[in-house]
Amino acid sequence: MSEPSSPRIVIVGAGPAGIRAAATLVEAGLHPVVIDEGHRAGGQIYRRPPAGFVRTPQQLYGSEADKALALHLLFDRMADEGRLTYCARSSVIAVHEGRLHVLGEGGAEVVFYDRLILATGASDRVAPIPGWQNAGVFSLGAAQIALKAQGVALGRRIVLIGSGPLLTLVGTQLLKAGADVAAVLDTSSWRQQMRGFWGLAARPIVALPGLTLRARLGRRYHAGVTPERIDADGQGVTGMRWRDAGGRERVTPCDMIGIGWHLRAETHLTDLAGCAFTYDELWRQWLPKADEMGRARNGIYLAGDGARLLGADGAEIAGRVAAAACLADLGRPVPSVGADLRRLARLERFARGLAQAFPWPGAMVRALPDDTIVCRCENVTAGAVREGTTLGGGEANRVKSLSRVGMGRCQGRYCQLAAVELVAAQAGCRPEDVGRFRGQAPVRPAPSGAFLREG
Amino acid sequence: MMTAGRIVRLAERDREEVQFLLDGEMRNALDGDTVLTAMLASGHALRSSEFGPEPRAGFCLMGACQDCWVWQDEGPRLRACTTLVVEGMRLRTTPPENWP
């Protein structure tokens, strides 16, 4: 068992990026501290069920089982041998000048760092649909986590709507597990998907299984749909109203709806750490600036979907590369990264193809009726966001203070992109001109009891 | 009845039973269930919205959206999707009456 090395390197997140970053540092003889919200290392895509669950990695992760297993074993071995310090079930809630404020099982504490690797991952990029505040509406990622980590379906009759690789994947996983999937509704048209396919073809081995999965959904799958409204009664969701590609109105009775349009990088800590951001036209979101190795600013490195939305394979590589950058900056011998950088470039082309094939539904958001709830935390409506823009102008943070959009407990994670789209439309400018909500600490709700000390 | 709620168990059904109180009534869950799974296995909601008429049942299941904070009889709330259910927990879908 060794102690955290000096200089002290802290990694936030133990998904594919965080695990590979840790392994690279451990191989170089350093002892990193890994802070992770999970009960066990793995992240979301390779999330592990609690102890006592019996499904095999094959059943849990399908074609990715070997990758998941390799990461889990690697991390557990490093932790068991005491070559890193693992803080599970711990949230970093603030970053300031070499200090992380961490909320764990034992309350709040301060963790110091000399170098910080942020591998914070991503969550579903969601857009509001009228009625989405009702019980029974979940993110696509939630449907997958429920199945993987708990062995459950979140409803008896399920509709999935949105766009992106996860839409098809979650649909087929639920079907295979025995859930009743009534419809899988893709807001991207076939034509749009073909346009992006040129990018996907850069990685045909991945693109082809995607189409095979799609075939398994059969007539449940519809491309080019427009969501209309989610019906609900006092208990929750009762149906999904949508228009098919031909404009025909359809209603699918259901008690669970999973929504999501690809991914949104998790960047709150990156923001608090003082990193710069740039609006990515294709991903329709702000992403942190970093060099190709993941260096964002002095002593801060970014890896994985929190920085570049390349998926799990890309995250593993980016984790290795960011750790190599850290080693280089410490003047230590650096493993060769040339091949990894070429792989990242290839994955980037593929990811940009995906982004084009499964786009953010900007037009749908701009057309939302005034009474649609945009912020699920505080039920702030599209009308209130538009009114805030009329009163205060087209700047994100001003509209935030006027309408409270983005001020709820999720801190804008699930409303910011839609809100900005609405503000831009109302102000007659582009979403990138509206700016982004400033990150605020604590980035997770922090019970005041955690900060009380017995005197 | 364990499957009267929103959630349908598809796998991993062979686990130890755990008992907890939901709004004062004894309910069953399985060891390894999150509080969210446990509550939605026998009910349809976790809480009501403070800002609208609709009940809420969680949204992201990865600790990011904060939709699933539920009350306990003794006061402090917990995040249902990231907390495992424990024998004897006393959970509520509404705030305790003596809460300020």
The answer to whether residues A186 and A166 touch, using CB atoms and an 8 Å cutoff, is: no
Residue A266: per-residue pLDDT: 98
Task: Please tell me if residue A418 touches chain B, with a CB cutoff of 8 Å.
Answer: no
Our CA dihedral for B8, B47, A47, A149, rounded to 10 degrees, sits at -20
Q: Residue B49 is part of which domain span?
A: 17-92
Q: Do the chains contact at B64 and A410, CB–CB below 8 Å?
A: yes
Task: Please tell me if residue A393 touches chain B, with a CB cutoff of 8 Å.
Answer: no
The answer to whether residues A296 and A306 touch, using CB atoms and an 8 Å cutoff, is: no
- Is residue B64 domain-resident? yes
Domain A9-123+264-353 belongs to what topology? Answer: FAD/NAD(P)-binding domain (3.50.50)
The answer to whether residues A298 and A113 touch, using CB atoms and an 8 Å cutoff, is: no
What is the tally of structural domains in chain B? 1
Residues of chain B with C-beta less than 8 angstroms from the C-beta of A447 = 76-77
Residue A449: per-residue pLDDT: 80
- Is residue B3 domain-resident? no
Of A91, A134, A410, nearest to B65 by CB-CB distance is A410
Task: Give the pLDDT means over successive 10-residue stretches in chain A (455 positions).
Answer: 82 98 97 97 96 94 96 98 97 96 92 98 98 98 97 98 95 96 96 77 59 85 97 97 98 98 97 96 95 96 97 98 98 95 94 90 97 98 98 96 95 97 97 94 88 67
Q: Which residues of A163-173 are buried (b: 16+ CB within 10 A; e: fewer)?
A: bbbbbbbbbbb
- Is residue B8 domain-resident? no
Residues on chain B bordering chain A, Cβ-to-Cβ distance under 8 angstroms: 6-16, 31-34, 37, 40-41, 44-45, 49-52, 54-67, 69, 76-77, 79, 82, 84
DSSP B84: B
Question: What residues contact residue A275 under an 8 Å CB cut-off, 6+ apart?
Answer: A288, A289, A290, A296, A297, A300, A302
Q: Convert the pLDDT of each residue in A116-144 to its tens digit.
A: 999 999 999 999 999 999 999 999 999 99
Report residue B48 as tokens: 């009501």
CATH of the domain at B29: 3.10.20.740
Could you list the beta-strand ranges (E) of A223-355: 226-233, 236-243, 249-253, 256-261, 263-265, 277-280, 285-288, 295-297, 300-302
Nearest by Cα to A230 from A368, A413, A405, A409: A368
Of A53, A413, A449, nearest to B65 by CB-CB distance is A413
Residue A317: CB atoms within 10 Å? 23
Q: Convert the pLDDT of each residue in B49-62 to its tens digit.
A: 999 999 999 999 99
Name the one residue in this structure whose structure tokens are 């990685």: A203
pTM above 0.80, yes or no: yes
Q: Which residues of A104-114 are buried (b: 16+ CB within 10 A; e: fewer)?
A: beeebeebebe
The answer to whether residues A141 and A305 touch, using CB atoms and an 8 Å cutoff, is: no
What Cα–Cα distance (Å) separates residue A338 from each residue in A291, A301, A342, A345? 14, 18, 6, 11
Q: Convert the pLDDT of each residue in B42-98 to its tens digit.
A: 999 999 999 999 999 999 999 999 999 999 998 889 999 999 999 999 999 998 887
Residues of chain B with C-beta less than 8 angstroms from the C-beta of A260 = none
Cα three-residue angle A444-A73-A2, rounded to 5 degrees: 75
Residue A6: per-residue pLDDT: 82
- Is residue B70 domain-resident? yes
- Is residue B75 domain-resident? yes
Between chain A and chain B, how many beta carbons pairs sit less than 8 Å apart? Answer: 147
Q: What share of chain A is helix, strand, coil (3-state, %, to 5)?
A: 40, 25, 40
Report residue A222 as tokens: 């519809």
Single-letter amino acid code for the residue at A237 = V
Residues of chain A with C-beta less than 8 angstroms from the C-beta of B12 = 49, 53-55, 150-151
pLDDT at B3 over 90: no
Residue A204: per-residue pLDDT: 54
Beta bridge partners of A118: A12, A302
Q: What share of chain B is helix, strand, coil (3-state, %, to 5)?
A: 10, 30, 60
Domain ranges of chain A: 9-123+264-353, 126-261, 363-434
Residue A452: per-residue pLDDT: 77
Nearest by Cα to A17 from A351, A343, A337, A311: A311
Can you tell me the distance from the alpha carbon of A67 to that of A441, in angstroms, rounded to the nearest whole number? 34
Can you tell me the distance from the alpha carbon of B78 to that of B76, in angstroms, rounded to the nearest whole number? 7
**Sequence-ordered alpha helix ranges (H) in B11-78:** 35-42
Of B52, B65, B79, nearest to A414 by CB-CB distance is B65
The answer to whether residues A414 and A126 touch, using CB atoms and an 8 Å cutoff, is: yes
Domain A363-434 belongs to what topology? Answer: Arc Repressor Mutant, subunit A (1.10.10)
Q: Which CATH number fits domain A126-261: 1.10.1040.10, 3.40.50.280, 2.60.40.420, 3.50.50.60?
A: 3.50.50.60
Can you tell me the distance from the alpha carbon of A96 to that of A116, in angstroms, rounded to the nearest whole number? 11
Q: Do the chains contact at A409 and B66, CB–CB below 8 Å?
A: yes
Residue A455: per-residue pLDDT: 52
Can you tell me the distance from the alpha carbon of A113 to that of A299, in angstroms, rounded to the nearest whole number? 9
Same fold, A126-261 and A363-434: no
Q: Do the chains contact at A153 and B14, CB–CB below 8 Å?
A: no
- Is residue B98 domain-resident? no
- From B99's Cα to the closest Cα of chain A, the distance in A is 15
Residue A206: per-residue pLDDT: 55
E strand or H helix at A248, and its extent?
Answer: none
- Is residue B7 domain-resident? no
Residue B97: CB atoms within 10 Å? 6
